Amino acid sequence: MTHNQNRSTIIRAAIVFLALILIGKLFYLQVISDKYAEKAARLSIRAVIEFPDRGLITDRNGEIIVFNEDTHDLVVHFPFNRKNFPIEDFCRLVNMTEAEVEEKIKIANDSRFNQKGLFIKNISAQDFARIQEGLFKFPQFSIESRSDRKYKHNVAAHTLGYVAEISRYELERDKEEYYDIGENIGKSGLERYYESLLRGQKGKQFFLKDNTGKLKERYKEGSNDVKGAVGKELKISLDVLLQEYGEKLIAGKTGSVVAIEPSTGEILAMVTSPGYKPDMFAIKNLGKNYTALATDKDKPLINRATTSTYPPGSTFKVIMSLIGLQEGVINTNTRYSCNGGFHIGGLTVRCHAHAPMPNVTYAITTSCNAFYCNTYREILHQDRFENIEEGYNNWKGYLNRMGLGMQLGTDISGEKPGNVPNADYFHKIHGHNKWNYVRIISMSIGQGELLLTPMQMANLAAMVANRGYFYTPHFIRGQQIPEAFTSKHEVGVENRHFTTVVEGMRNVMLNGTGAYVQIPGIDICGKTGTVQNPHGENHSIFIAFAPKDNPKIAIATVVENAGYGSTWAAPICTLMIEKYINRDTVSQRPELEKKMMETAIPK
């Protein structure tokens, strides 16, 4: 083979080799790798998001509480082509300077998710029509419409919660990858707990766009589009009329009211004061109201029904009676003398004047401190216990089974467990097993280290109304209810002991501290509590249920710095019981109603 032939063969082989490499690369790019296809698609296709309406929230009677109104955001799409972008015309459209527009585009680009960034959030109604009309000149911008929350009944802000823009932290925890930057999510209350139910499903429509960003025909004739679905309606247990009434009664005071249907655990009302109106946290109002409310010295953002804790005071004597009866350390004939209180050594737990030796029924009626100090001693120091820790843990076990000292597990976040100390707490203070009932005697009458939330107090009233069990308090109703809310919690006290205790609570309303707020025609069982407050006036507390047989409502009220339980908490509770049972009828006690609604109590 000549030199020229050899050279020609080498050249042809090199050409074939290079051709094979090129063909292989093309095959990889077009068949195996979709990287460049995806890049091309991103440059030529725009996804238009269809945001679904959020689900309605209705009360137990089907009354709409929360619905929607449209809001509009202006978004900018990336990559942003500044060539031939008529910035002066755009500035006039959005009423901004060129510097402001450039800065907003930069911010939108820095915070964007995928191909878009937020340019103007919540365009005002007066600007929306004007911007929409002139936006066709600026194809790299578009308007996205979504819904804001609106309130037919402007109540129950802490229960309902609010919706706001998703945070970076929430985006990072979004395992479904459902949300984009700038989108809204339930932030608190029921809006947060039932977010996946309420939010619905976003839809997507894909369009081809030209090199200026202008949308053209549907991509693949809509075959890749995703159909959206509106959010599902959330029917809740709240009675909106009872809620409105409760907010009027406690206005001007600091405290809360919780009402529960005993037979189901459904929460009928949850009132906290001071509070705020839910429309103050609608998306369009949130920015201007949040800081003011968050820094308000009265702390209106606190949900006192689930996060504030108080000693239960004399209302706890109902629970002490049940534990004493179940443990067999007292019975219906047990009597302890009361000579102005409980006396041991240099310690005196004072008591007010009443019959000198009450049995358990009249100990509840007269709220005898001496009776319950003696009962506590007998509960903790039974012969079957080797030491104080064993006796204390036995007593504490009853409280835990009643939902005290732990979160109840209701369907709104932020619930506090209250406080029922472990024995270790007292070991550290007094020495290991070197303490006895005298050291912790204040807990026998609902004071000392014992702390409950108003929600827990209402749940105790529901437990007594049911004669020994409760359902976890909850708001969801009328749809598939989680098993956690339908499971019965037995507290370990026999039904027969409730007959004695309920009789005592009924007698409180007939002959005791609740007599003046009794409602003709409704058999209310209740117990007042006046709780010592080292920071001012005593707290006023009351728990109750009604009617006595086949109860429909259990309720607890705490009014801070208000004095006796019978003065403020009891009237609010009984007025709400009357409103719920008698429904739309006018109160039989208009003067008492007027006093509750019109009187403010300073902190």
Side-chain-side CA neighbours of 359 within 13 Å: the count stands at: 11
Domain of 21, in residue numbers = 3-33
- Report strand pairing: 255-261 vs 266-273: antiparallel
In angstroms, rounded to a whole number, what is the distance separating the alpha carbons of residues 581 and 509?
17
pLDDT digits (tens, 9 = 90+) for 51-98: 888 999 999 999 999 999 888 889 888 888 777 789 899 999 999 998
CA torsion 507→513→515→519, rounded to 10°? -90
109 domain residue, yes or no: yes
In angstroms, rounded to a whole number, what is the distance separating the alpha carbons of residues 71 and 49?
14
Residue 32: CB atoms within 10 Å: 9
Q: For 153, which DSSP code?
A: S
Of the candidates 136, 134, 127, the residue with the CA atom closest to the CA atom of residue 73: 127
Instruction: Decide if 131 contacts 143 (C-beta within 8 A).
Output: yes
- Report strand pairing: 488-490 vs 525-531: unpaired
**Mean pLDDT of all residues in the chain?**
89
Edge-to-edge strand ranges of the sheet holding 215-218: 45-50, 203-209, 215-218
Residues 420 and 279 in one domain: yes
The whole-angstrom distance between residue 502's C-alpha and the CA centroid of its chain comes to 31
Mean pLDDT, residues 312-336 taken together: 96
Cite the beta strand spans of 351-455 per DSSP E: none
Q: Which tokens belong to 84?
A: 């031939």
Residue 393: give its domain's CATH number: 3.40.710.10
Q: For 337, which DSSP code?
A: -
For 240, counting Cβ atoms within 10 Å of its Cβ (0-12 exposed, 13-18 middle, 19+ buried), the class is buried
Find out whether the peptide bond into 52 is cis, omega within 30 degrees of 0: no
pLDDT digits (tens, 9 = 90+) for 506-560: 999 999 999 989 999 999 999 999 988 877 788 999 999 999 999 999 999 999 9
In angstroms, rounded to a whole number, what is the distance separating the alpha carbons of residues 593 and 574?
10
pLDDT digits (tens, 9 = 90+) for 356-388: 777 999 999 999 999 999 999 999 999 999 999
pLDDT at 20: 67
Mean pLDDT, residues 407-424 taken together: 95
Residues 443 and 591 in one domain: yes
CA geometry: angle 280, 285, 288, nearest 5 deg: 100
343 domain residue, yes or no: yes
408 domain residue, yes or no: yes
Instruction: Decide if 394 contacts 401 (C-beta within 8 A).
Output: no
pLDDT at 5: 57
Residue 592 pLDDT > 90, yes or no? yes
pLDDT at 535: 77
Q: For 29, which DSSP code?
A: I
Residues 183 and 265 in one domain: no
Query: In percent, how much of the chain has pLDDT > 90?
Result: 62
Residues 466 and 414 in one domain: yes
Look at residue 450 and give its three-state secondary structure.
coil
Residues 286 and 224 in one domain: no
When divided into structural domains, the chain yields a total of 3
Over 464-489, what HEC string results?
Answer: HHCCCEEECCECECCCCCCHHHCCEE
In angstroms, rounded to a whole number, what is the distance separating the alpha carbons of residues 556 and 260?
9
Of the candidates 229, 149, 245, the residue with the CA atom closest to the CA atom of residue 190: 149
CA geometry: angle 269, 272, 275, nearest 5 deg: 125
Q: CA-based diameter of the chain, in Å? A: 134
Mean pLDDT, residues 495-509 taken together: 97
Find out whether the peptide bond into 547 is cis, omega within 30 degrees of 0: yes
Residues 230 and 367 in one domain: no
- Report strand pairing: 64-77 vs 141-151: antiparallel
Query: In percent, how much of the chain has pLDDT > 70?
Result: 90
- pLDDT bin (cut points 50, 70, 90) of residue 6 is low
Mean pLDDT, residues 211-229 taken together: 70
- Residue that finishes a domain, picked among 235, 250, 285: 235
User: Whole-angstrom distance between the N-terminal and C-terminal Cα of the chain?
Assistant: 111
pLDDT digits (tens, 9 = 90+) for 342-357: 888 888 889 887 777 7
Mean pLDDT, residues 12-26 taken together: 67
In angstroms, rounded to a whole number, what is the distance separating the alpha carbons of residues 357 and 351?
12
More confident residue, 270 or 562: 270
pLDDT at 422: 96
- pLDDT bin (cut points 50, 70, 90) of residue 333 is very high
In angstroms, rounded to a whole number, what is the distance separating the alpha carbons of residues 119 and 142?
10
Residue 122: give its domain's CATH number: 3.90.1310.10
pLDDT at 526: 97
Residues 414 and 446 in one domain: yes
39 domain residue, yes or no: no
Residues 72 and 198 in one domain: yes
603 domain residue, yes or no: no
CA geometry: angle 348, 353, 358, nearest 5 deg: 90
pTM of the model: 0.86
For 144, counting Cβ atoms within 10 Å of its Cβ (0-12 exposed, 13-18 middle, 19+ buried), the class is middle
Of the candidates 575, 547, 542, 571, the residue with the CA atom closest to the CA atom of residue 557: 542
- Residue that finishes a domain, picked among 211, 235, 259: 235
How long a stretch of residues is the chain?
603
Look at residue 151 and give its three-state secondary structure.
strand
Instruction: Decide if 363 contacts 527 (C-beta within 8 A).
Output: no
pLDDT at 33: 52
In angstroms, rounded to a whole number, what is the distance separating the alpha carbons of residues 378 and 358?
17
Residues 114 and 192 in one domain: yes
- Output the CA–CA distances (angstroms, integers) from residue 207 to 109, 215, 502, in the order listed: 22, 6, 70
Residues 68 and 190 in one domain: yes
Q: Is the dihedral of CA 176, 182, 187, 190 positive or negative?
A: negative
Residues 197 and 254 in one domain: no
- pLDDT bin (cut points 50, 70, 90) of residue 296 is very high
- pLDDT bin (cut points 50, 70, 90) of residue 496 is very high
